[in-house]
């Protein structure tokens, strides 16, 4: 392996991080300074090489990189020593194409030379396929886009979204995303994960990197199970290595979302931006966890809840006593204010809803009775026809019962056979069942369950 020394001059050029998507999607957990250390070293690689070179970097240069986010880490020698030691206890797990898992340390060796102020660094050899001579399925970005970030999961979020930037959108399951960000053992409550991780990363990336993102939660049985991300180009990206702001084009005006609920919020006096913010925040407007869960269970959707709150606001505004309707509305989201008029309307709506439900249930029951009766008739008809076709004794019994008047079998034609009479008998076929049931009751046991079900349904009616 060759050796080269990187100096502060290298910081003046655009350092680029280029990594296989396998590493972007790998499972590992590094703190903020460990991530910046690794990414800085990755940016110093010449990815055209077939082997890793020993990287020799002046610690003073590395200090300027670490401190770009405004944090002071203390003695840089001690910091670098702690980082290199801790990296050996924090391997990454890469999912290989054959389904196997590769668990590997980031570095093979690191040597600090206090007298010369240089650190010599060597990546683990098995990382070569994921950092060198990359031809496809890799992510590339300028190092400056992550150096000002102050959260380790903001860096991970940046890399994950950068890998999907070409698609402009991506969806992750909540648990999957937490694993990728290295917080799968934290934030059991989704609200905390959203507030401390997603919202933090969203704010940091928009202020300090070349991409930004919007996200939308997807629910399954009222629980948030996945998150849809829209990835946006951000013209406000970052500062240089010396903290000098880069000139960028003026940011484009953000296109605000709209829907009927947002339009109603605008009609209530909110600006479009504030209305969109209230809608997107949704149930998270309620800080109290227990209260938030209760409201979410009661209404099911954000739309239903906000519409109810808007109706309450309209009632209160009609009384002419509100000085700040918008402020009152926002407060009502947290406190769930109510009134006698609103409660009376809710009761009316519930009565109406129950009435509609009862009527729908009654119609469904009638339809079910009709369907089951038809099925029983068809099945019994087929059985009787089969029995008559196969038994002269049954045919004779039907003729005798008919002659005695024991069967009310209208339009019975003696010139026709019992089978022919049955086939043409229409509704009179039911009379045949009496004779057949007496003679061959065992054949009708198969209908016992359905007949019992039909009786129960008729009683419910």
Long-range contacts of 6-10 (CB under 8 A, 24+ apart): 6/44, 6/55, 6/56, 6/57, 6/58, 6/61, 7/58, 7/61, 8/58, 8/60, 8/61, 8/64, 10/44, 10/61
Tokens 């070349």 -> residue? 210
Question: Nearest-5° angle of CA 186, CA 187, CA 190?
Answer: 150
Per-residue CA distances from 433 to 348, 377, 384, 408 (Å): 51, 10, 7, 11
User: Of 98 and 35, which is predicted with more confidence?
Assistant: 35
Confidence label for 341 from pLDDT (cuts 50, 70 and 90): low
β-strands 54-58, 118-123 pairing: antiparallel
The DSSP secondary-structure symbol of 167 reads T
Residue 143 pLDDT more than 60? yes
Longest CA span, the chain: 124
Residue 269's CB: how many other CB atoms inside 10 A? 14
Q: Domain 1-144 - what CATH class?
A: mainly alpha
Confidence label for 232 from pLDDT (cuts 50, 70 and 90): very high
Average pLDDT across the chain, whole number: 78
Residue 392 pLDDT more than 60? yes
Q: Which residues contact 459 (CB under 8 A, 6 or more apart)?
A: none
Q: Which range in 147-156, 246-255, 287-296 is most confidently predicted, on average pLDDT?
A: 147-156
Residue 224 pLDDT more than 60? yes
**Which range has the worst mean pLDDT, 232-236, 305-309, 326-330, 439-443?**
439-443
Q: Which residues contact 224 (CB under 8 A, 6 or more apart)?
A: 174, 190, 217, 218
Query: Looking at residue 161, what is its pLDDT?
Result: 94
Per-residue pLDDT, averaged over 7-31, amounts to 76
Instruction: Give the closest residue to 458 by CA, choosing from 365, 389, 346.
Output: 365
Q: Residue 124, Cα to own-chain centre: how many angstroms?
A: 36
Q: Which residues, listed in sequence order, are joined to residue 217 by a DSSP beta bridge?
A: 227
Topology match between the domains 1-144 and 148-254: yes
Query: Looking at residue 237, what is its pLDDT?
Result: 45
Alpha helix segments (H runs only) across 391-417: 392-404
Q: Residue 116, Cα to own-chain centre: how many angstroms?
A: 52
What is the per-residue DSSP string for 236-254? T--B-TTSPBPP-PPPPPP
What is the per-residue DSSP string for 193-238? HIIIIIHHHHHHHHHHSSEEEEEEEEEETTEEEEEEEEEEE-TT--
* pLDDT tens column, 303-318: 888 988 888 888 888 8
User: Of 202 and 70, which is predicted with more confidence?
Assistant: 202
Domain ranges of the chain: 1-144, 148-254, 260-338, 359-460
Residue 396 pLDDT more than 70? yes
Q: Which range in 42-46, 338-342, 347-351 is most confidently predicted, on average pLDDT?
A: 42-46
Confidence label for 433 from pLDDT (cuts 50, 70 and 90): low
Rounded Cα gap, residues 219 and 227, in angstroms: 9
Query: Looking at residue 443, what is its pLDDT?
Result: 63
Query: Looking at residue 345, what is its pLDDT?
Result: 66
Query: Looking at residue 353, what is its pLDDT?
Result: 77
Query: Looking at residue 342, what is its pLDDT?
Result: 64
Architecture of the structural domain at 148-254: Orthogonal Bundle (1.10)
Q: Which range in 59-73, 99-113, 161-175, 418-432 is most confidently predicted, on average pLDDT?
A: 161-175
User: Of 198 and 412, which is predicted with more confidence?
Assistant: 198
The encoded tokens of residue 30 equal 């590094």
Confidence label for 249 from pLDDT (cuts 50, 70 and 90): very low
Residue 103 pLDDT more than 50? yes
Query: Looking at residue 255, what is its pLDDT?
Result: 59
Using a pLDDT cut of 90, give the percent of the chain over it: 11
Is the Cβ–Cβ distance between 53 and 156 less than 8 Å? no
Instruction: Give the closest residue to 84 by CA, choosing from 63, 112, 49, 47.
Output: 112
């Amino acid at each position: 392996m060759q050796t080269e020394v990187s100096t502060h001059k290298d910081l003046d050029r655009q350092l680029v991080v280029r990594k296989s998507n396998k590493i972007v999607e790998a499972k590992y957990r590094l703190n903020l300074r460990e991530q910046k250390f690794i990414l800085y070293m990755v940016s110093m690689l010449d990815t055209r090489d077939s082997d890793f070179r020993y990287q020799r970097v002046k610690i003073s240069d590395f200090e300027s990189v670490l401190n770009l986010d405004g944090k002071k880490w203390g003695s840089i020698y001690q910091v670098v020593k702690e980082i290199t030691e801790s990296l050996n206890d924090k391997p990454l797990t890469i999912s290989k194409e054959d389904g196997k898992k590769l668990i590997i340390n980031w570095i093979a060796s690191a040597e600090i030379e206090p007298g010369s102020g240089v650190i010599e660094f060597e990546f683990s050899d098995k990382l070569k396929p994921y950092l060198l001579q990359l031809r496809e399925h890799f992510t590339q970005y300028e190092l400056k886009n992550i150096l000002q970030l102050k959260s380790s999961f903001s860096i991970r979020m940046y890399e994950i979204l950068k890998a999907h930037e070409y698609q402009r959108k991506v969806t992750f399951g909540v648990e999957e995303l937490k694993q990728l960000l290295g917080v799968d053992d934290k934030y059991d409550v989704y609200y905390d994960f959203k507030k401390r991780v997603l919202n933090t990363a969203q704010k940091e990336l928009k202020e300090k990197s070349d991409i930004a993102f919007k996200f939308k939660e997807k629910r399954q049985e009222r629980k948030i199970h996945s998150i849809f991300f829209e990835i946006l180009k951000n013209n406000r990206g970052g500062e240089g290595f010396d903290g000098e702001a880069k000139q960028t084009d003026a940011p484009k005006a953000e296109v605000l979302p709209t829907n009927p609920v947002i339009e109603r919020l605008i009609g209530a006096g909110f600006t479009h931006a504030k209305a969109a913010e209230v809608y997107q925040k949704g149930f998270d407007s309620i800080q109290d966890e227990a209260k938030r869960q209760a409201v979410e269970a009661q209404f099911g959707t954000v739309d239903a809840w906000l519409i109810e709150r808007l109706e309450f606001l309209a009632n209160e505004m009609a009384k002419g006593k509100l000085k700040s309707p918008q402020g009152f509305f926002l407060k009502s989201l947290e406190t769930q204010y109510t009134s006698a008029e609103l409660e009376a309307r809710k009761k009316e709506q519930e009565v109406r809803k129950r009435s509609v439900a009862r009527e729908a249930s009654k119609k469904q029951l009638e339809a079910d009775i009709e369907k089951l009766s038809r099925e029983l008739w068809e099945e019994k008809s087929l059985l009787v026809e089969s029995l008559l076709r196969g038994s002269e004794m049954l045919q004779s019994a039907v003729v005798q019962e008919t002659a005695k008047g024991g069967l009310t079998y209208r339009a019975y034609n003696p010139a026709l056979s019992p089978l022919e009479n049955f086939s043409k008998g229409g509704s009179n076929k039911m009379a045949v069942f009496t004779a057949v049931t007496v003679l061959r009751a065992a054949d009708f046991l198969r209908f016992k369950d359905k007949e019992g079900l039909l009786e129960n349904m008729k009683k419910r009616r």
